[in-house]
Structures are given as C-alpha cells and as structure tokens.
Chains A and B, each alone.
Chain A
Amino acid sequence: MSGAQAVRRARWRGNVGLIIAALVLGIIVLMAVAAPLIAPYDPYEQILDDRMLPPAFVDAERASPTHLLGTDNLGRDYLSRLIYGARISLLIGFFTMLVSGVIGTVLGVAAGFFGGRTDMVVSFLVTTRLSLPVVMVALAVVAVLGGSLQVVVLVLGLLLWDRFAVVMRSATMQVRGRDYVTAARAIGCSVPRILWSEVLPNVVSGLVVIASYEMAQAILLEAALSFLGLGVQPPLPSWGLMVSEAKEFMLFEPWMIMLPGAAICVLVLAINLLGDGIRDLTAPEGRR
C-alpha cells in the first residue's frame, strides 16, 4: 500500500464517524418533523385499558401488535411519545444553542476586538458565570418562573454561553492582529463593517464545534431538569420526563426507562460525533 493511499485511508476513517453521525441525526430530525405523519397514536391519548403493555421484544405474550414499543403507566403509546419527544429535545437543544451562541459570540468578539476595558468586563462576566452552579441556578429559576419550553430555553441559553465567549474571544484576538484587518482600517472601513466582513467570517469556523457541543449539553441538561421535575412539565413527551416517569417502574419494567435513555444517548452521541467530524474536516485545511 503506497503512502498516498495510506493518507487517503486515514482521512476516510475519520469521515466514517461523520457520515454515520450525520445519518443518525438526519433520521432523528426527519422523525421529529414528520411526527404527525408517522406516529401511530396521539402521544397525549390515554388508553387506560392498555396500560403498561411491554414492547414485543420484551414479552411477546403481553405485547400488543399496535403498540410497537408498548405503553406507559397512563396507556399512552410509547413509540409515539418517543417520536414526539425528539421534537422537544431538538427544539430545546437548537434554540438554547442559538441563544447562548448569540450572547457568547457577541461578548467574545467584542472582548477580543476592542480589548482594554471591554475585555476586562467580559472576562469578569465569564468568571462570574463559571462560578455559578448551572444546574442549581436553572432549578431555582424554573422553580420560580414555572417550567415551560420557553423558560427552559431562556434559562439554559442565559447560562451556557461561556464557552462560546471564550473561544470567540481568542479567535478574534488572533484575527485582529492580521494585516488584512489593519488594511481594512486604513481603507476607512467602519468598525461594524470590519467586524462583519473581515473578522466574523474568519472566526466562525470555531463556532461549529462549540455549537454542537453546547447543543448536546442543552439536551442533557433539559433531560436532567425534567427528570428532577423542574424542566418541561407533564404531559409533554420530553425524553427526560419519560425517564423520570419511568423510574418508579425501573425494576419491573426496565424497558420503560431504557428506551428514552437510549434515545437521549443516541442523539447526544450523534451531535458530538458530527461536531468532531466537522472539526476534523476543517482543521487539517487550517493547519496547512
């Protein structure tokens, strides 16, 4: 095997993870979007006669042919709840990432570009934020304001921006010293224009990886909050809530807790692998 072939092989090995992740994520997103079309039942519909039916692969005798993944303690179809639950997780993950991304990028780029006092203020904010116990603050706020999709997104978005800020700050500091930024100033570009057209395009590559990481974090945090009862409120089919509701039946009907748990795992893993894969794709180019 020649050397050039070896190099190509190594590239492919890295890409396989990316392709699998992209496929899995794609399936989950499609599932969430097409939920009304593919879910066999309404996730809120309670069929009290058919409570706690196991899925076919657990106990074929008691299983029902129409409920592929069984039903929960209130007779709601598990498969439908899982499918609709994807929506909740993706929505929370995505919008939290958006909110925290905007806050973190604005603060980080400002600190990196202007330096001086701005940098001091932002660094102070980051230090303060890092000293806050995220889960406890989130719990406290949700306890006061009540748990709803919007509140959870807002709270998590206001708490998870620090990594964005730090990465954007250092990336901006590197770019600020480049001659093309100085040239733009000499041409007479206004500061907003320089930030938008010279600085931002050159720092966004770092964003992708952080964004995927924070999205995964948000999903996990929401699951944790819901599990503790202070996230999204029932009867919403959030995967975290499903885990919480299933914990009392954990010993007897373990599938009830394993299915939503596995779903969370798969989604977070896919998102992280996607971020890693994209970083691997763009980093070697950057190194050359």
Chain B
Amino acid sequence: MSEIALELRGLTVDILTDGGVLHAVRGVSLTARRGETLCVVGESGCGKSLTTLAVMGLLPEGARRGAECMELAGENLLTASPSRLRALRGDRMAMIFQDPMTCLNPSLTIGDQMTETFLHHRKGRARAALDRAVALLERVGIAGAAGRLGQYPHQLSGGLRQRVVIAMALMCEPDVLLADEPTTALDATVQLGILQLLAALQREMHMALVLVTHDLGIVARIADRVAVMYAGEVVEEGEVRAVFDAPRHPYTRGLMNCIPQPGITAPGTRLGTIPGLVPYLVGDVAGCAFRGRCPHAMPACASPVPVREDAGHAWRCLL
C-alpha cells in the first residue's frame, strides 16, 4: 500500500448559529493515500464540503474545528503555525471548487494567477514559473497554451476555466488535491473530460485525490475508495467495488435504489425512495442520525452505534 498523504481522525466542525450550536461534522475519519482516489459522497447538508474546508483551514467565520489527528504526509496540521499552514496550502495541499468563476480573479490574467502560487511557494524565477504554467495548461488539454496566459477568465468557457483551475492547483505538485464537486456545474460531455483529466493527472503525479460529490455515478467510475457521509458522519467506507456490490448501511442501500439505471430500471417503474428529511443537527445528537428514516430502525439505534468492519469495509450500523 502506498504511503498515506492525508490522515484525518475524529474531525468535528461546529457552527455557531442563533438557535444554538450546529454540529455539522461529527467525528469524521478519512485516510487518503498517494496514487489513490478517495470519494466522499453524500447529499446536501451532510458536511462533506465542510470536511475538506476544515482540512485546508478555510472554514468560514463562526465555525470551530476540532480533531484527534490531522496529518499531511506525517506533518501535524493541528499544531502547525498559521505561517506554516499558509506555506503548506497551495504547495503540499491544494483545493478546487465547484464554480470555476469564483475561483478565478476576474481582473487578473490566467498567467498572473497561475504563476502567483508558484512564485510565492518556490521563490523561483518568473521564467521558470511561466514555463511550468504553459506546460501544465498543455497537459490539461488547452490548445494554444502560451496565448492563453494573457487571457482573462471571462474569455474562457466553463469547461476551460475548470481546466485552468486544475492546472493552477497543480503548479506546485501537491501531495493531496481536494476537489469539491468540481464537475457539478458542467455539462455531461465536459464533465467526462474533466474527470478523465483528473484521473490521468493523479496517476502521473502519484498524488492523493479526494473528490467530494453527490453523484454516485462519478464515485463508481473514478474512485478507489469511497466514504459515504450522512448528517455529519461517515456511515460507510471501503473499497468502491465492495461498497457498491454489497452496501451494508441502510442509507447507502437507499441511495442506490433511488438512482435510475438505464437498461436496468424498466421505463415506467417507480424509483426507490428514502422517506423523510435530513435531521437538523443542533444541540446534542445521540445515536444513529438515520434512524428516523431507516426501514430497519430498532430501539437500540438511539444509543451510540458501533462501527462494524469486514476486510477494510466499515459501516456504522447495528445490522
């Protein structure tokens, strides 16, 4: 097994609201290895985006983070000084977001933005930075890369912008790339191109890719390992084939039943559903957060639920 690039244990994120403390992330543990793609999948409100922001140290005002362990290639992120964190961000760990337009500064050229990271972290010469930028733009499939350096973000289409954002993130060859719903805003054909690119880059640079998404299709095709999140916790985790072939947690099973599969779901049949709504996580939450919607709920589910494990496939359920 390759070395661990990012180790996360017991992450909690609390958000202060008028009505009390919102426990958005409750004890999440993840391990991302070099050369491996870990997908964090869940629906809105499960805390998956906050998890990646917490790792990067980019939580919004009013959010408090706590963790037992948060290590980047062995270096402890919890005790690192703010200046050390700034040095790590962009250099050893990078993040790309859903909307490329908000990642890119509309008043700076592509070239300026891409070389900014490199020059800041590597203190290299401008020539070296530009060469690397051109090389990366070509690698991400942008034709006429040298000419693009002088262009502004609004002159590019959504798919091209996302490629530029990816190239920017890779300028310093990070150990970990965190991607928060990078293709949600893109068309299907464009999405596929971006995913192919991410997969290829990950192989070449032997980095760890942590991809956050709500799309189980993406997870199935691109991930090596998957972590399913619900209401701030990881409810199931394991190798992607194991989890998809035999999902153990009722939420994972429910999710898979909801998706129409062409060729399998006969036209005109009804899809599976998960009744109810996601619980509001303010105040103390005891026991399994899914029990209100679970077809197999038992009285014992109200107490803290143990994590079961079977050959690397873990799930948080009594069943």
Closest beta carbon of chain A to B297's beta carbon, Å:
31
Task: State whether B18 touches A3 (Cβ < 8 A).
Answer: no
A217–B18 Cα distance when bound, in Å, is: 36
How far is A8 from B64 in the complex, measured between Cα atoms in Å?
17
What DSSP secondary structure best describes chain A's contact surface?
Answer: helix
* Residues from chain A with Cβ under 8 Å of B222 in the complex: none
Complex contacts, B21 vs chain A, CB 8 Å = 2-4
B18 touches A4 (CB 8 A): yes
Most buried by A among B16, B17, B19: B16
Q: Which residue of A lies closest to B20 (CB)?
A: A4
Q: How many A-B residue pairs have CB under 8 A?
A: 20
A7 to B61, CA, bound (A): 11
A251 at the interface (CB under 8 A from B): no
- Across the interface, name the chain A residue whose C-beta is closest to B19: A4
Q: List residues of chain B with CB within 8 A of the CB of A4.
A: 16-21
Known: A2-B21, A4-B16. 14 other contacts (CB 8 A): A3-B14, A3-B16, A3-B62, A3-B64, A4-B18, A4-B19, A4-B20, A6-B16, A7-B16, A7-B17, A7-B18, A7-B62, A8-B18, A11-B18
Residues in B neighbouring A8, C-beta threshold 8 A: 18
In the complex, how many residues of chain A place their beta carbon closer than 8 angstroms to a beta carbon of chain B?
A: 7
Bitwise interface map of B from 1 to 24 toward A, beta carbon under 8 Å scored 1, else 0: 000000000000010111111000
Main secondary structure of the interface of B (DSSP, over half): strand
Q: List 17 A-B contacts (CB under 8 A).
A: A3-B14, A3-B21, A3-B62, A3-B64, A4-B16, A4-B17, A4-B18, A4-B19, A4-B20, A4-B21, A6-B16, A7-B16, A7-B17, A7-B18, A7-B62, A8-B18, A11-B18
- Interface residue count for B (Cβ, 8 Å)? 9
User: For residue B16, which residues in chain A have a CB less than 8 angstroms away from its CB?
Assistant: 2-4, 6-7
Distance of A175 Cα from B98 Cα, bound (Å): 25
Render A1-43 as a binary contact track against B, CB cut-off 8 A, 1 for contact.
0111011100100000000000000000000000000000000
Nearest B residue to A5, CB-CB: B16
CB distance from B30 to the nearest CB of A (A): 26
Instruction: Please report the C-alpha to C-alpha distance between residue A236 and residue B19 in the assembled complex, in whole angstroms.
Output: 54
Interchain CA distance A3-B64 in the complex, whole Å: 9
User: Given the complex of chains A and B, what is the CA–CA distance between A55 and B18 in angstroms?
Assistant: 50
Give the 8 A-B residue pairs with the shortest CB-CB distance, closest first.
Answer: A3-B16, A4-B16, A7-B16, A4-B20, A7-B18, A4-B21, A3-B21, A3-B62
Q: Which of A163-191 contact B (CB under 8 A)?
A: none
Contacts of B62 in A (CB 8 A): 3, 7
Chain B residues within 8 Å of A3, by CB: 14, 16, 21, 62, 64
Which residue of chain A lies nearest to B64 when distances are taken between CB atoms in the complex?
A: A3
A228 to B62, CA, bound (A): 53
- When C-beta atoms are compared, the residue in chain B nearest to A284 turns out to be B18
Name the B residues within 8 Å of A7 (CB-CB).
16-18, 62
- Name the interface residues of B32-50: CB closer than 8 Å to any CB of A: none
Q: Which residues on B sit within 8 Å (CB–CB) of A2? A: 16, 21
Query: A8 CA to B20 CA in the complex, in Å?
Result: 10
Complex Cα gap A11–B19 (Å): 13
Residue picked from A2, A4, A6, A8, most chain B C-beta under 10 Å: A4
Q: How far is the CA of A6 from the CA of B14 in the complex (A)?
A: 14
The interface residues of chain A lying within 8 Å CB-to-CB of B19 are: 4
Q: Give the distance in Å from the alpha carbon of A7 to the alpha carbon of B14 in the complex.
A: 14
Indicate the member of A3, A7, A11 with the most B CB atoms within 10 Å.
Answer: A3
**How many angstroms from the CA of A279 to the CA of B21 in the assembled complex?**
26
CB distance from A273 to the nearest CB of B (A): 23
Nearest chain B CB to A10 CB, angstrom units? 10
Which residues of chain A from 227 to 254 have a CB within 8 Å of any chain B CB?
none
Cα distance, A3 to B17, chains bound together (Å): 8
Q: Chain B nearest CB: distance from A14 CB in Å? A: 13
* Complexed CA–CA distance, A11 and B20 (Å): 15
CA distance A4 to B22 in the complex (A): 10
CA distance A35 to B17 in the complex (A): 47
Which chain A positions have C-beta within 8 A of B17?
Answer: 4, 7
